[in-house]
């Protein structure tokens, strides 16, 4: 059974800092990995999707990497801003629909 772990559970950084969020999964037989953002009381916003054949994807200040063989993904956020404060969720897609980690709650302090 696929299990997804996100570390750290919470992170607080000053504005402008670069940061890395970590995601690990137990079964490397995946089709893709998706990073989401969730604001309090809201649904999920898709940030980046990495197919299993890809190593990384970039969107603006966000860069996500995937190392399928080691069961790891990272989300890099450059020059963090207070508006980046949210919970970031990693989800792995395989033979079954997405399996989610419990998320990292990010606070960017102005």
Partner 1 sequence: GAGVSQSPSNKVTEKGKDVELRCDPISGHTALYWYRQSLGQGLEFLIYFQGNSAPDKSGLPSDRFSAERTGGSVSTLTIQRTQQEDSAVYLCASSFATQYEQYFGPGTRLTVT
Q: Give the interface with partner 1 as residue ranges (CB under 8 A).
A: 31-32, 34, 36, 42-46, 49, 89, 91, 93, 96-103
Preceding omega of 8 cis (within 30 degrees of 0): yes
For residue 15, the minimal CB distance to partner 1 (Å) is 28
Query: Shortest distance, CB of residue 109 to partner 1, whole angstroms?
Result: 25
Q: 21 or 80: whose CB is closer to partner 1?
A: 21
N-to-C CA span, the chain: 41
Residue closer to partner 1 (CB basis): 71 or 103: 103
CB of residue 17 to partner 1, shortest distance in Å:
27
Residue number with CB closer to partner 1 (13 or 93): 93
**Which residue number, 18 or 45, has a Cβ lying nearer to partner 1?**
45
Contact call for residues 66 and 51 (beta carbons, < 8 A): no
Report CA 54 to chain centroid distance, whole Å.
Answer: 15
Minimum CB–partner distance for residue 59 and partner 1 (Å): 12
Nearest-angstrom CA–CA distance, 82 and 64: 20
Can you count the helices (H) and strands (E) in the chain? 0, 11
């Amino acid at each position: 059974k696929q299990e997804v772990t996100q570390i750290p559970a919470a992170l607080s950084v000053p504005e402008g800092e670069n940061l890395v969020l970590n995601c690990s999964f137990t079964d490397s037989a995946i089709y893709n990995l998706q990073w989401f953002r969730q604001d309090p009381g809201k649904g999920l916003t898709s940030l980046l999707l990495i197919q299993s054949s890809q190593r990384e994807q970039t969107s603006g200040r966000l860069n996500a990497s995937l190392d399928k063989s080691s069961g790891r993904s990272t989300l890099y956020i450059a020059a963090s801003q207070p508006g980046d404060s949210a919970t970031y969720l990693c989800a792995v897609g395989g033979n079954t629909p997405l399996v989610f980690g419990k998320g990292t709650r990010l606070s960017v302090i102005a």
